[in-house]
Amino acid sequence: MQEKLRTAWLVVDFFTHRHRLSGRLNVRHKKLADQLNDTTSSFIELEDAYISNISQSADIIASYSSVILRKAKLTAVIVAQQEDGLRRDQSYGSYFGAYLRQVFITTSSLEITGHLRLSGKMDMRTVLTTGTDAFIPILDGEMRIALLRDAIFTGGMILVNKNQIGAFCIVEEKE
């Protein structure tokens, strides 16, 4: 029997190319990352959602009790706590690998910085090409709108859609 998660709802910010959708996601039976990476469904449902243009994220365009999002069209997802962005199998200590690498990621409209945790030293190209996960978890992330440098979004974890990444850069460590 699948273990139930202790919280039924998670507050999440979803970003598309031009919009921010903020609302509640039901995580009672399946964690956020597991829902995003589930290949049996192309959609995710958000409840009590507010929609705004990312360039004016404080101005709400509309609100809806239920919104269906196409996962392929999502650019990034932000949660406040790192634990809320982990897959179920990562939640029990196995996720925290030995290597932490600072990264800079671009999409068509966003710039994302933060840390990528790896279980071993690997060629960074393999992060984008291996595994079945569609979303890469970036720890302690900061996201900016490329054309509006003052618009900043932060979170304990940012999940970035691999298919939306334009450039994936490793910040070199200074010796």
Summarised one tens digit per residue, pLDDT across range 95-131 is 455 678 899 999 999 999 999 887 666 666 677 777 6
First to last CA, the chain: 50
* Per-residue confidence (pLDDT) for residue 5, from 0 to 100: 43
For the entire predicted model, the pTM comes to 0.87
3-state secondary structure of 18: coil
* Per-residue confidence (pLDDT) for residue 168, from 0 to 100: 92
Give the whole-angstrom CA distance, residue 43 versus residue 64. 17
Residue 1 inside a domain? The answer is no
* Per-residue confidence (pLDDT) for residue 137, from 0 to 100: 92
* Per-residue confidence (pLDDT) for residue 96, from 0 to 100: 52
Residue 146 inside a domain? The answer is yes
Residue 175 inside a domain? The answer is no
- Domain with 137 in it: what CATH number? 2.30.30.100
Residue 86 inside a domain? The answer is yes
* Per-residue confidence (pLDDT) for residue 1, from 0 to 100: 38
Residue 4 inside a domain? The answer is no
147-158: string of b/e by CB count within 10 Å (b at 16+)? eeeebebebbbb
Pinpoint the alpha helices (H) of the chain: 32-36, 125-129
Residue 46 inside a domain? The answer is yes
Say which DSSP state 17 is in.
S
Residue 95 inside a domain? The answer is yes
**Number of independent structural domains in the chain:** 1
Residue 119 inside a domain? The answer is yes
Residue ranges in the chain modelled with pLDDT below 50: 1-5, 95
Q: In what order do the strands lie in the sheet with 135-145?
A: 60-70, 43-53, 19-26, 9-15, 76-79, 148-161, 135-145, 110-118, 99-106, 167-170
Smallest Cα–Cα separation from 133: which of 67, 168, 69, 88? 88
* Per-residue confidence (pLDDT) for residue 134, from 0 to 100: 92
Domain that residue 106 falls in: 9-170
